[in-house]
Structure 1
């Protein structure tokens, strides 16, 4: 029986550190990633990410200044999201990287998000041994690899609404403090200070969490595009 695991690789991570240091409210949702080999045997990525959380020109400038980025361009914009194509610099063959590490442990990437806290990955593993081996290897990619949710692929996460750990924690705190009462018993600013993020970041967590819960309530069991960017 295969397993679905939601894993966070905590910063520092090999690439995009400078960009997220400059724009900590930025959130990237992975559309596609291709790991390629150059003539010297090094590995580089060509990847496509949807940006939310900050103005596209600001994050593009941050990417241009990031030493791990070779070139980038905006592909298109849709509502409040902008799709970026990013090519990284080449990394030496001995450098551990996420996609090859997943592949080495027979894991299948489902979706991924990158923000200032780290890289959040949902992937399918053939069994628990493969997951544990991946977690050990992934600590060479990020500072720490933590599992936030684990379930059998055939069952799905019970009553999860596809919420990330941060979204669920933000929603629980807002409910406990009376944020959704009328009138509200706590301000967004006070709630954000307690949660340890900016008001803009907390607002984004809450908005996306509520959207997911509502979507599950009005369209139960209906597949939808995943946006784990929050």
Structure 2
């Protein structure tokens, strides 16, 4: 049975956090992790005021070979980072335990991760990896998919996506004209603007996919 682990980790406890910490101040979300042979490529959504300074800072790290902008949209830029060398850090631990990144974003004090594992054995493998590598994570909670509310399970939304969508609806974000900004919604939840933007975007995609694509299949 799938199990979800939510935890926080300080920037100095893993390479990605260390490389991305410090000025310029940017909102960053880990989009996905792709293993390619012995290498692991992180993909990041980044939003802020100084993309050139951000790129220069990342390239200045001894741990980075390259950073490439793959896509630019209104909400930010998607980057791919290529590491130099083999790092035994938290990202490799997630990969080795076959974890799926549901959400991962920077906070004022470090990073917050929401990871889904196929079963408790893989979660234990990840935890043991962190212990062996002396990576200090702060577990917020763990829960199985069956412990979600029925309304969340209906569209396979994460609790955070559902919370963001409900708040956006109640506050009039989807009205024309919009009654509230992303910044105001983010302040109410105590998260970054990039984080709530991604939660709303992914939540909308999930609801529409489950509703429209399933209906379209039924009509075929």
User: Same fold, TM exceeding 0.5?
Assistant: yes
Distance verdict in 2 for CA 1:84–1:135, change over 3 Å? same
Query: May I ask how many residue pairs the two structures share in their alignment?
Result: 197
* Paired position in structure 1 for 2:82: 86
* Paired position in structure 2 for 1:228: none
Distance verdict in 2 for CA 1:4–1:20, change over 3 Å? farther
Q: Contact 2:94 / 2:100 at 8 angstroms: preserved in 1?
A: no
Residue of 47, 58, 68 corresponding to 1:63: 58
Q: Distance in 2 between matches of 1:31 and 1:58?
A: 24
Unmatched segments (≥5 aa) in structure 2: none
Distance verdict in 2 for CA 1:35–1:148, change over 3 Å? farther
> Which is helix-richer, 1 or 2?
2
* Paired position in structure 1 for 2:31: 29
Q: Distance in 2 between matches of 1:160 and 1:136?
A: 33
TM-score (norm 1): 0.63
TM-fit CA distance, 1:175: 2.9
Q: Contact 2:28 / 2:194 at 8 angstroms: preserved in 1?
A: no
* Paired position in structure 1 for 2:188: 194
Residue of 211, 216, 222 corresponding to 2:210: 216
* Paired position in structure 2 for 1:14: 14
TM-fit CA distance, 1:194: 1.2
- Structure 1 range deviating more: 76-85 or 12-21: 76-85
TM-score (norm 2): 0.65
Q: Distance in 1 between matches of 2:160 and 2:30?
A: 15
TM-fit CA distance, 1:210: 1.5
Distance verdict in 2 for CA 1:102–1:181, change over 3 Å? closer
Q: Distance in 2 between matches of 1:100 and 1:135?
A: 8
TM-fit CA distance, 1:10: 1.0
Residue of 54, 73, 86 corresponding to 2:47: 54
Alignment of 1:1-230 (within 5 A): 3-12=1-10, 13-18=13-18, 19-22=20-23, 23-33=25-35, 36=38, 46-54=39-47, 57-66=52-61, 69-74=63-68, 77-78=70-71, 80=73, 82-88=78-84, 97=90, 99-100=92-93, 103=96, 107-111=97-101, 113-116=103-106, 117-125=111-119, 128=120, 131-132=123-124, 134-135=126-127, 138=130, 140-147=134-141, 149-151=143-145, 159=153, 161-181=155-175, 184-220=178-214
Structure 2 residue matching 1:51: 3-state secondary structure: strand
